[in-house]
Structure 1
Amino acid sequence: MFLNFIQNYPFILAFILGLIPALLWMWFWLKEDIHPEPAKILTLSFIGGMLAVVFVLPFQKIVYFYFQDQETISFILWAATEELAKFGFVYFIALRNKAVDEPVDDIIYLIVSALGFVTLENTLFLIQPIHLGQVVDTIVHSNLRFMGASLLHVMSSATIGIMLGLSFYKSRGEKILYTVIGIILAIALHSAFNLFIIREVSGNIFFIFGAVWVGIIVLLLLFEKVKHVSNLKSNLP
């Protein structure tokens, strides 16, 4: 009966499998923030990340239609639409809010948005195998996506957040420059990952996932650095 229910309503199991790792990662990052963010804005940022998936789907179909024979361009444009959508939604939901009162807040909200994005993205990815009754394969696939694509989204969005955090006390012009650089870096990381996965050769997959984990470690170190960014002007006598 349970299997019949799951096959008839595959979205439920797919959503649970997509949500659990996202919640675990969210708990990990939120505990790094010594000044907790408002639950309402965090929730809206997460939902905004999910809405970004719906927003980018038609654009990605257009990209595929016009550039299906140009693999590199397709993946760069796909990555660009996803990174811009994630950033755009969280910018209007959270980053302009007065709750963002310290450098690490930018990183937190962008990571939460990314986790919302991967939750729905993973859900859509897992629906078909669940509907076909491939529950074990589904769990394996969900773990692979959690290890790869999910971590990538966290890393790419956090890259933008780090640049915003580093420029938190700088002038408006410098903030814009840092933001643009962060978005470009995020798109580059995302595009490189997608291209390496598609052109996967024997043993290359382990190198790719290893590189993503190294990136997460670097992200943690940079997160600590952003924690200590201070307003030099306020420290002047």
Structure 2
Amino acid sequence: MSVLSVLMAAIAPGVALMSYFYLKDRYDPEPISLVLKLFLFGVLLVFPVMVLQRALVQGLGENPFVFSFLTSAGIEEFFKWFLVYFIIFKHTSFDEPYDGIVYAVATSLGFATLENVLYAFLNDSGFSALMMRAFLPVSGHAMFGVIMGYHLGKAKFSPDGGNKHLLLALVLPLFWHGVFDYTMLVTKTYWIWFMVPLMAFLWMRSLWKVNRANAKSPLRVIHPEDQVKI
């Protein structure tokens, strides 16, 4: 494969998934510039995360459990959560629950896209390897972003301040990311028997969260087609 072909194949899954979740915003699509800003911040996040992960590996070793839940998932999900919370949570454009999903997915997929590009070039990956990564790590990051964004949306519009959902927005993606990584590390020869059900569950759960977040939009009442006919 040419350099351009590898680059396009590495970038395409993240862009496609971002487009999919952006278009799922039924009532008030977010400003493209703001979504791209979060995507770019996710890209830039790769570099400090890589430095911290390298330091943790040197200090803590590569025990599969510690690596999966702390070095990998812990660092990555905390920084993604931190970015989304401090950049967008109080922004005026965050005006309905689904917006949390859009912005968290943008950050997650920005991170996953550069990670995929680096993997492609550093490992001299072929097309089949990149497609496998599209269905696993890149898709996984999108699912973790949906979980994070769903609970950020709940926190934003919760009448009691939403501290519980702010915590869940960090803990749940971290947990599922850790499960994903741990499964890949300890089931090297028969991982497909575990990963297919796991990814199917995460996708079904994420699509449910997407529909539920849209259903809770305060803007829904102005759309006649969503009114229940009596």
Structure 2: which amino acid aligns with 1:20? A
Q: Which amino acid aligns with 1:55?
A: P
The aligned counterpart of 1:96 is: 90
Q: Which residue of 1 aligns with 2:38?
A: 45
Aligned residue pairs, count: 216
Question: 3-state SS of the aligned residue for 2:94?
Answer: coil
* 1:48-92 Cα deviation digits (max 9, x unpaired): 111111120110001100111533112211211101112222333
Question: Residue 21 of structure 1: CA displacement?
Answer: 1.2
Structure 1 residue identity aligned to 2:89: L
Question: Aligned match of 2:55 in 56, 62, 71?
Answer: 62
Is residue 41–residue 93 contact of structure 1 (8 Å, CA) maintained in 2? no
Following superposition, the deviation at residue 15 of structure 1 comes to 3.3
Alignment partner, residue 172 of structure 2: 185
Contact kept in structure 2, 1:147 and 1:209, CA below 8 Å: no
Q: How far off its partner does 1:214 sit?
A: 2.3
Alignment of 1:1-237 (within 5 A): 6=2, 10=3, 12-34=4-26, 35-77=28-70, 78-130=72-124, 137-171=125-159, 173=161, 175-229=162-216
Tell whether the 8 Å contact from 2:97 to 2:214 is kept in structure 1 after alignment.
Answer: yes
Q: How many angstroms apart in 2 are the aligned matches of 1:21 and 1:95?
A: 26
Decide whether the 8 Å contact of 1:15 with 1:119 is kept in 2: no
- Measured against aligned partners, the alpha-carbon deviations of 1:93-130 in whole angstroms (never above 9, x if no partner) come to 33332111101000111011111111000001010243
- Structure 1 residues 15 and 90: alpha-carbon distance in aligned structure 2, compared to 1, 3 A threshold: farther
The farther-off stretch of 209-218 and 197-206 is 197-206
Instruction: Please give the TM-score of this superposition, normalised by the length of structure 2.
Output: 0.86
CA RMSD of aligned residues (A): 1.9
- Distance (Å, rounded) in 2 between the aligned partners of 1:32 and 1:181: 23
Query: Contact 2:155–2:164 at 8 Å: present in 1 too?
Result: no
Separation of aligned partners in 2, 1:21 and 1:210: 21
1:90 to 1:18, Cα distance in 2 relative to 1, 3 A: farther
**What percent identity do the matched residue pairs reach?**
23
| Structure 1 unaligned residues grouped into runs of 5+ | 131-136, 232-237
Name the CA distance, whole Å, in 2 between partners of 1:79 and 1:98.
Answer: 30
- Quote the offset at 1:202 in angstroms: 4.3
Amino acid at match of 2:69: I
